């Protein structure tokens, strides 16, 4: 039987690279792999549908799906996940000591629609009763070296949500350093904080805070998912399960390698103990794939997207994913 040629794009995660390096195959497929940074992969997918199988922003996928404006269906594989309590940075001279103190403040972010910002806002709403309209938002490049600001970055249909663009030529880091905004939602520590500006993390012990959040909610936020071109899936419905299995097998290899005590592949002295401690907190599965194990977080993220005015219509968890894999 001839192998189906497919192009596959993802970033070089430990849980995906066993596919790219040949240790794991997609059954029935002759796959060509493209290793690209997530933001590059997203742009190529959403605006050009360049690859047959690709990593996608989960928040942006939900928004485009609700508009019937996406060339892909997704499967319950999540190559990037992250808690985002640690992504909130605030000035120390604005009286912000608790999350509730963010009401009436101004926060900067790269993109109102990006999944990291969605997750941070969802946590603030659920745990601290802070609605998106309670904060003024400024969208812009985080650092002076710029960065692509996605189309739709300043869009929300939620009542009362204020989103402004940063002044031209001014990064969020510069605005934060000068005190023109009160904080940022950022994936990295802002450079002004490292340079001595009066900036701190909103949650100083963010690791413990995130672990407690998981214990209470069972939510391990999804950042990115895996998508298959709709036309390819329609013509070859078997491919959904083949791709799902390959990603699961690749992840199993990565997790097994974390637990090797001799000749560790990871540059971290206590990685085996770290894995064991994390597995205990997360009920044995530190990175779950599959629909059933992720229904709680998927439904929460749909709700957050609706509350934030990012969806053109209401969505359900079941409709988002390829029906061939709803029983996983």
Residue 263 has a pLDDT of: 83
Beta-carbon contacts of residue 88 (< 8 Å; ≥ 6 apart): 99, 120, 183, 184, 185, 201, 202, 203
pTM metric for this prediction: 0.94
Q: Where are the domains of the chain?
A: 4-82+221-320, 85-217
What's the DSSP call for residue 325? G
Topology adopted by domain 85-217: D-Maltodextrin-Binding Protein; domain 2 (3.40.190)
DSSP 75-132: EEEEEEE---GGGEEEETTS---SGGGGTT-EEEES-TTSHHHHHHHHHHHHHH---G
Which residues are 72's β-sheet partners? 229
Give the Cα separation of 226 and 6 in Å (integer).
14
Tell me if domain 4-82+221-320 and domain 85-217 are identical in fold: yes
How would you class 249 by CB atoms within 10 Å of its CB: exposed for 0-12, middle for 13-18, buried for 19 or more? middle
Residue 2 has a pLDDT of: 86
Give the Cα separation of 95 and 198 in Å (integer).
12
Give the position of tokens 């995906």.
16
Beta-carbon contacts of residue 1 (< 8 Å; ≥ 6 apart): 28
* β-bridge pairing 53-57 and 4-10: parallel
CATH of 4-82+221-320, one of 3.20.20.70, 3.20.20.10, 3.40.190.10, 1.10.10.10: 3.40.190.10
How would you class 175 by CB atoms within 10 Å of its CB: exposed for 0-12, middle for 13-18, buried for 19 or more? buried
Residue 151 has a pLDDT of: 56
Using alpha carbons, select from 4, 68, 76, 45 the residue that is nearest to residue 239.
Answer: 4
- Two structure tokens written together for 293: 């194990």
Each residue's pLDDT, cut to its tens digit, for the chain (328 residues) gives: 689 999 999 999 999 999 999 999 999 999 999 999 999 999 999 999 999 999 999 999 999 999 999 999 999 999 999 999 999 999 999 999 999 999 999 999 999 999 999 999 999 999 999 999 999 999 999 987 655 555 556 678 887 899 999 999 999 999 999 999 999 999 889 999 988 999 999 999 999 999 999 999 999 999 999 999 999 999 999 999 999 999 999 999 999 999 998 888 889 999 999 999 999 999 999 999 999 999 999 999 999 999 999 999 999 999 999 999 999 9
Residue 148 has a pLDDT of: 56
């Amino acid at each position: 039987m001839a192998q189906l040629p497919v192009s596959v794009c993802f970033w070089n995660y430990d849980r995906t690279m066993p596919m790219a390096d040949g240790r794991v195959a997609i059954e029935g497929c002759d796959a060509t792999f493209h290793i690209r940074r997530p933001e590059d992969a997203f742009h190529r997918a959403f605006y050009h549908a360049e690859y047959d199988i690709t990593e996608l922003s989960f928040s942006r996928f939900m928004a485009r799906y609700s508009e019937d404006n996406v060339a892909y269906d997704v499967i319950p594989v999540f190559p990037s996940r992250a808690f985002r309590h640690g992504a909130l940075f605030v000035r120390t001279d604005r009286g912000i000591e608790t999350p509730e103190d963010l009401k009436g403040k101004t926060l900067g972010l790269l993109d109102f629609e990006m999944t990291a910002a969605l997750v941070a806002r969802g946590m603030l709403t659920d745990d601290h009763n802070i609605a998106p309209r309670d904060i003024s938002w400024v969208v812009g490049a985080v650092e002076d070296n710029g960065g692509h600001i996605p189309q739709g970055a300043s869009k929300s249909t939620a009542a009362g949500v204020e989103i402004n663009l940063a002044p031209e030529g001014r990064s969020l880091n510069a605005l934060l350093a000068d005190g023109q905004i009160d904080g940022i939602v950022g994936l990295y520590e802002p450079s002004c904080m490292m340079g001595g500006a009066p900036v701190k993390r909103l949650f100083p012990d963010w690791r413990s805070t995130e672990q407690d959040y998981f214990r209470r909610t069972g939510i391990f936020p999804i950042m990115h998912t895996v998508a298959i071109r709709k036309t390819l899936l329609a013509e070859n419905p078997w491919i959904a399960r083949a791709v799902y299995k390959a990603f699961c097998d690749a992840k199993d290899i990565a997790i097994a390698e974390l637990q090797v005590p001799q000749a560790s592949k990871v540059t971290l002295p206590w990685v085996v103990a770290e894995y064991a401690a994390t597995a205990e907190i997360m009920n044995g599965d530190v990175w779950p794939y599959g629909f059933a194990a992720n229904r709680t977080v998927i439904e929460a993220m749909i709700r957050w997207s609706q509350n934030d005015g990012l969806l053109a219509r209401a969505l359900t968890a079941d409709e988002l994913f390829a029906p061939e894999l709803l029983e996983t």
